[in-house]
A and B are shown apart, each in its own frame.
Chain A
Amino acid sequence: MPELHEKAPAGAPLTVKDLNTENPRWCVGCGDFGVLMGFKRFLVEEQIPPHETVNVSGIGCSGRVPFYVNTYGVHAIHGRPITIAMGVALARPDLKLFIHAGDGDALSIGGNHLVHGIHKNFNCVFILYDNQLYALTKSQSSPTTRKGHPTNTQPQGTALDPIAPIRFALGIGASFVAATADWLPDHMVNTLKVAYAHKGFSFVHVLQRCPHFDPENFDNKTSAWFSFLTHEKGIPADKRLADKTEIVTHDPTDHEEAFRLANSQRAYFGLFYRNPDKPCYDAMIRQRIVNAKPMSRAGILDSYKI
């Protein structure tokens, strides 16, 4: 079997080069490149061992992310990466778990799983790649497509107002909710670091450009349309843009204020909410094993004896 990737010598620090695999097959200018680079930088800065890392994805452009990071990975079926990740979390709490899902994957076909992933609060970083349409299937409306935007399934313009992912996550009771964008590399890396440090289901909303099917969306040349949320315990504003846009100090323990921000028409990047005390289902279930009186398998039929 040919060696695909050069391995870093044992003990050497992890570099971005160690994480590279093949060249991504995304369109030129795709926002996924930014997220991928930010994610690799985060892994390197945190020196997370690649062999202990599992990336789980669904289907769609962002579903290919695991292929492009030299860790363990599961490219699952459409809408279901959370279900696979749940199994990894229950079976192997030692692994570092990241879920990569698009807006169609997470909020449409897999919406039920997102509700329950958030509710179970199992330990992982969940990255929602929100380009606000279906791209790999060639431009159909998604739950986050803006109203009026024409797509191949709704050429007269998308009929409904979009689901607001941040509001959705807060409403379900997420223990960690943050937002960033593909064109804010430093902010993205810092967001992922804070998400990774949180124990529980860390919901990270990433605005992601799709220059092929929706080039006007997300003006990454200007910054007046969004604000950064900062706090001493939050995520610092992106260095390059910090002096070009509004910076709002927001206490990430303030759930009510987080909701108010999520309800506004303005875009905010940063940490909306964090509750480190919400119990994690995976840890609770595993604790049942610890609490149970160990039983020899030899005796499993004893209670059925006649």
Chain B
Amino acid sequence: MEKKTVNNVRVGRFELLMDAGFGAQKAGDILIRAFARMGKYVFIEPMIPAEISPPARTRPALSGVIIRVAEFDLENIGNNTDVILASHEVVLDRRLDDEEHNPNCRVLLDMGDKALPTSGYDRVMKRVKDSGLSIYPFEIVPEAQTIIRSLAGKARNMYYLGMLGCIYNAPEEFVINEIKLTFGTKLREDVFKKNIDLFHYGYQDARDNVPFAYEVQNASGKNGHEKILIDGNSALGMGVVDAGIKLVSGYPITPASSILHTLAKVFPSSGGILHQAEDEISAIGTAIGAYYSGVPALTCTSGPGLSLKQEFIGYATAAEIPIIIIDVQRSGPSTGMPTKTEQSDLLPVIYGSHGDNAKIVLGVYDIVDCFYAPQLARYLAEKLRLPVFIMSDFQTANSYKVIDKPRIFEMKDSNDIDDFVLDHFGLQRLPEPIEMVRTEQAVPGTPGKMRRITGLNTDQTGTVNYFSKASQRSHAVRNEKVHCVQRALKKPELFGGREEGDVLIVGWGSAKGAVEEAVSYCQNQGLAVGGMCLRFVNPLPLMLKEIFSRFKKVVTVELAYGDPYKHPPLAMILRAETLADVQAIISRVTGRPITPRSIETKVKELFHAGIA
């Protein structure tokens, strides 16, 4: 082997590509746990096929992980990949289509079974070379192949884990410790030993034969905070527990189901009920029934389920029953791409249902927001007696990262909400009391205050009233609830502190990490570029128009479809609300997250075209 090049980097990104069902995510999970324990910051994004077991060696079978590792806190999965390890040429070929590799990306390709015709390998290796990337073909050493055969072809992920562990300089004992924690009690002793042996063979193979390595400093311990490694949906689930929500009602739908899975294990221990309903409509109905009975409740879903819930959402608004809805957005319409990310439920959430809509819509920035959002949602739902949406997405739901352990509040009552949570989301405490359509809002079981609720229009006493004044008043009262949140919204953070300039980049929800990083790239190059990312998308902060007026050009970046004839949702809303000529510079539906570099490129195009 030529002399090994060791790259000392502050941040790196690599990926492992395999066929579905062969444990790429498991290997990635083990490796990032080892990194995290060593003191590195990690961010992992799984690539999950839409089917359980698509045929091996086909393009739909691609299943893998993208891992970003750094000595500083990571807000997103980053731009491009430095190292790809692919278990065969078909998944590699498929992944190269996404064009997320660095120009100097190094590709390790398992040449696999010699019995296969080499033409496929040759074609893909040529593609790699033609793209200017370096290719490193390798073969699993014969001793390891024997073990893999004895395990019916499984466990090659442990070999790759060994290779990647070595390339990223993870001491073997750290990784083996994580393998033990993952498999120790689940595998027979001899099978477990074979897995460890495969890991060692892979590690040795990379040490002896791969001519490069990466070194990232271990720095996460430096701020002195306790760390956790958690994914977005688990953070939401634990946030639901901390918010004192006692009933979660859902129906299986990717990518929201894992919230139910997480809660199914822990919820009863904290007095919570996890209910799997017969359909999406029933799921929200049951949550509404529980909240009506005085028990905080929530339902979680994704786009198609959101459509089915819309009638009940309008009902909850009219009947003044608090309800929290988590929408983990995926690529639509219809079944779309259920394992790909998108932000395209914005319009159906804000304007869906029927008639006039009064509701609160909150987009989460990241995994930390996922943990705190249920508390804020509960506070708002109970104070306003309106539907409150927590908008997440596939990317946020399924990414893991190392974060400082969030504060736990053990919320008992919505009045308990801590200033920390309100500050975190940029909201002032709401004024009290907030006027309701009906004066009496007693919970069943309260003597002498019996009342009937309905989706019919009523007067203050709750009596059905179809007359003009009562209807006008009901609408005004419901909307005033939203307006009082609008008045309580603080000015959104302007990244890099830039309050005026040529271009303002605006995103919402999970675009935050990419927008913030893109703004820093641009500002470091001396460009007068500002940026913000909205958490509250309904209502919008009042001062947006004024902020927008201080930039020559306001642009959005969002994962929803747009073209020159069609503004994507965020741009459409911002235009309507501010009358600023907001245009989207990223409005794509590729199923891949927004990258900071792609934003930077688009912003620079604006400058080159003289638009900014």
Contact = CB atoms under 8 A, between A and B. Distances in A.
Given A52-B445, A77-B455, 18 more contacts: A54-B444, A70-B450, A73-B450, A74-B292, A76-B285, A80-B312, A83-B283, A83-B285, A83-B286, A84-B288, A87-B286, A87-B287, A88-B444, A89-B289, A91-B273, A113-B285, A298-B408, A301-B228
Contact of B292 (A71, A87, A285): A87
A28 interface: no
Interface string A85-96: 111111110110
Given A22-B463, A74-B292, A306-B37, A113 B278 contact: yes
B33 A87 contact: no
Contacts of A82: 282, 285
Interface residues of B, number: 70
Interface in A157-180: none
A295 B268 CA distance: 9
Main secondary structure of the interface of B (DSSP, over half): mixed
28 contacts: A56-B289, A67-B454, A67-B464, A72-B444, A73-B451, A74-B292, A74-B453, A74-B454, A75-B454, A76-B315, A80-B282, A83-B277, A83-B284, A87-B247, A87-B285, A87-B286, A88-B289, A88-B444, A90-B290, A91-B289, A91-B297, A92-B293, A112-B282, A288-B268, A292-B269, A294-B271, A300-B238, A305-B226
Nearest to B448: A7
Contact of B461 (A1, A89, A116, A292): A1
B295 A92 contact: yes
Nearest to B408: A298
Contacts of B229: 304, 306
Interface in B231-280: 234, 238, 241-242, 246-247, 249, 266, 268-273, 275, 277-279
B286 A90 contact: yes
A69 to B, nearest CB: 8
Given A83-B281, A87-B249, A51 B269 contact: no
Interface in B454-479: 454-456, 460-461, 463-464
A89 B295 CA distance: 11
A300 B405 CA distance: 11
Contacts of A4: 461, 463
Given A4-B461, A50-B450, A297-B410, A292 B228 contact: no
Contact of B285 (A54, A80, A304): A80
B444 A92 contact: yes
A286 interface: yes
Contacts of B60: none
Nearest to B227: A306
A87 B453 contact: no
B228 A1 contact: no
B355 interface: no
Interface residues of A, number: 58
Which of A66, A95, A306 is the most central at the interface, judged by chain B CB atoms within 10 Å of its CB?
A: A306
Interface in B378-435: 402, 405-406, 408, 410
A51 B446 contact: yes
Given A87-B289, A88-B293, A94-B445, A300 B270 contact: yes
A116 B402 CA distance: 42
Contacts of B446: 51
A305 B230 CA distance: 9
Contacts of B287: 87
Contacts of A300: 238, 241-242, 266, 270, 408
